[in-house]
Structure 1
Amino acid sequence: MPWVLSNEQTQRDLERRFARDGVSFTDAGFCDSPEFLKQERRDARYLELYARYVEARTYDEAYLADAARKIAVVADTVRAAVQVDGRLGACVDASGMIGRMLDKLGVWNYVAKATLTIDFPETSGLSPRYFWAFDHGQFAAPHAVVIAPPYYVVDATVKYQPYDAGRDTLVPSIVLADTFQGAQWRPEDLANHDLLQEIRRRRHRFNEFLLRQNPGMASVLEQLPSRAVMHGQTRLKYAVVAVGGTVEPLEGITGYKPSGRTALTIFEQDVLPKLGLLESRSA
């Protein structure tokens, strides 16, 4: 399948920007280069340019086929580790691991913080499940996924979130979406119902609230398209609200260790052998 988000004009524009800034853009993961990090210190939103570049690049069939295999192995391996560990809501940590593993493998990707709206089959009688950007409490992100061509969404933890009323049985164990439906985000996708009622009570428009409250989010929503994928009759809509990932390289990810195993251990003992790139090592 071709990567339908490729945009030659956007790619050229971004390459001119990177060249002007002294940033080499030839290799996947160039966002970790000293030149890129220098620009990021000047502009906290510079990483968004990398995300846009990953989506806009042109990829040949050979690359996409090789990347698809690597992504599938990495994502399912991390998914399995999260399942065994049993922690719910590990999307930020797990997606960060996946992104760093793909960087090691030379696979173009970025980690996206996203809202997620799950519409269940009408026959189920279940109301939608929302992961809002504007909600009660403190959290790193409403949800986190990886965008890695040829997959428009890589979601290894969608199953491992708090659900009730049988919703978990209608959610896929993993999302590896090589196709998607174009989707428009709605205020209901981004903010909890109480907040929306308060905004309406004050006769404000949500777009105005968004621009005032978080102009960076408004920009990302405009630059990186929302997308919906189907799992049977269940519809999952993702709206990218920020570009994230881990600051640490794979070797430095030690905060979340599924079942006591570091990201690097999982990569070396599970991922590389499955890809035929390294014999399995003992712990």
Structure 2
Amino acid sequence: MDLHELRIFSRVAALASFTQAAQQLGLTKSRVSSAVQRLEVQLGTRLLQRTTRQVRLTSDGVQFLARCEELLADAEQLQGMFQPAASGLRGRLRIDLPNVFARDVIIPRLPAFLAAHPLLEVGISTSDHRVDPVLEGFDCVLRVGPLGATELVARPLGRLQMCNLASPAYLAAHGTPHSLQDLAHHRLVHFAGKLSLRGAGWEYEEGGKTQLHPMPSALIVNGTDAYQAACLAGLGLIQAPRRGAQHLLDQGRLVEVLPAFTPAPMAVSLLYPHRRQLPARVAACLDWLAGVVTPHLAAR
């Protein structure tokens, strides 16, 4: 049984799409479809139900996928079993990172990691929206904030301390708030992935619980760079991780306000799809990312 065809089937099953699998694998859709068809002929059963709207696993396909993923993991371990340690890791890694962490923390340390493993090919996504590691084919993601319900494996790393920020120009024009009641005379820049006002307001922690104080929003953004830029431009108050703003505080370009009413620290976690045996390159990447990121976080 062809391992390449097993990988193709695994990706089609994960994405529930021949088209998306072909795009991720760099193959034509016909090549992907033919590979799955050959597997079905060899096995004597249908693995996928195809309609014009969806692709889904059959009951036989569900059983085969579980064994397929185990075989692919075993094959990768066998392939590297007798390779000299000096050759390092090999293969592709796809990682999704928050923009600020990628720019300020991880990419500056990446040259040493790649020098130690020159046969690795690393793809890094730096989006501010929450990707689906399984559907979008990521080996691991670094996530900031609550995880919610997930079937992914989560590796907690620590927490990001939060702070409330304003520009000197904004404070000169609107005054400095000293209480929650003062916020009625101020404007908030709201961060929302879908540019929605849902959940807008001033967050703060009280008695171990998150409270939300309503206040008007001047602007809604869905990216961390735009969020910080809006504050620097004097468009309103923001609530952001101190880690990404400390240099601006040190330079006097931003000012901290209402330190007694800050949001709860944000959890930082590494997420990856559950597998019986992680490929060596993914396990090594997870350990490396944890080692690079954890020193920048507060204890869990």
The TM tier, using the shorter chain, reads under 0.3
More strand by share: 2
TM-score by length of 1: 0.23
